[in-house]
Amino acid sequence: MSRAFGLGLLAVLCVLPMAQAAAASRAIWTWEAESYAMIEDPAVADEAVAYLNSQRIDTVYLYADAYKDRNLIVEQPQLYRAFIERLHGKNMKVYALLGSWYLSTQKYVLPEHRKEAEAMFRRVVDYNASVPESARFDGANLDIEPHILDEWEDDTRADLLIGFLDMSAAVMRIKQESGATLAVGPAIPFWLDGIEVDWNGRHRPVSEHTINIYDYVALMDYRDKAEGRDSILSHAASEIAYANEVGKKVVIGLEVSPNDINKVTFDEEGPKVFEQEVRKVERALRNEPSFDGFAIHHYRAYRRWAGRYWE
């Protein structure tokens, strides 16, 4: 499909009833404390899996790095193996979630910290190589966000984004050289399509460079309405169109956590409005080859948010 897709996207909705098509995949980001609790306690794991199934969530972005001076994927990999096998037994996918406020992993885009990023990803690759297929991660999601660095300013952002692209290329070289098959992609803000940089001899939007590097992107498309100006669909249009061209995938990320800026989250709108807007997005994108479902931020916030309305 041509880049002109973006112009017609918002005006054209598929008329097939939702019941005639399989529902789009739903993933959920699951951060450090919640992931470690699920991994370490079978009772917590059972309750979490039952809850996720009840919410039609079929993919877990499961934190897979160090937390509070422990690194379970290295020290007790059998715990990851047992939990991943449990999720696979429920027909759920598991992606290694890499990136952490606790570890300040935004600094991994800086050249002096690149080896830390590589080591973080290599641990997941090594884990996958050491366990049977039933216990392997299906993918990895990197949440490394240079825009939260203190160094992020108008005159430094291009260099920081180039550092992000260099880090990304290094990670994907590890995947290629190891023969790993897991799908790898980053969480990126929707506004990267408005910043152009020169990288590897090509001048293009950072979003396009990123899509070229990875297998997929999880687009942090944090808005509380599907259609119109400043909406989920309007902000995803260029990424969907470009990913269509180059054969990559885009997951639409949505927010339910509290935020002082109301338009970035469904926190105040609640699950009913959330489902209405998700259905609009799904109808609009279901025939786009690059559309690969949704990711919700994040497990603990989702449970609190849903509980306010449903319990």
Q: What is the pLDDT of residue 219?
A: 99
Distance CA 173, CA 274 (A): 38
Distance CA 229, CA 206 (A): 22
CA–CA distance from 168 to each of 45, 162, 214 (Å)? Answer: 32, 10, 8
For residue 55, give the nearest of 303, 289, 251, 228 by alpha carbon: 303
For residue 86, give the nearest of 125, 145, 135, 147 by alpha carbon: 135
For residue 249, give the nearest of 289, 284, 280, 220 by alpha carbon: 289
pLDDT tens track, the chain, 311 positions: 444 444 344 333 333 333 346 899 999 999 999 999 999 999 999 999 999 999 999 999 999 999 999 999 999 999 999 999 999 999 999 999 999 999 999 999 999 999 999 999 999 999 999 999 999 999 999 999 999 999 999 999 999 999 999 999 999 999 999 999 999 999 999 999 999 999 999 999 999 999 999 999 999 999 999 999 999 999 999 999 999 999 999 999 999 999 999 999 999 999 999 999 999 999 999 999 999 999 999 999 999 999 998 65
Distance CA 46, CA 185 (A): 28
Distance CA 186, CA 207 (A): 11
Q: Are 291 and 242 in contact (CB under 8 A)?
A: no
Q: In one letter, which amino acid is 170?
A: A
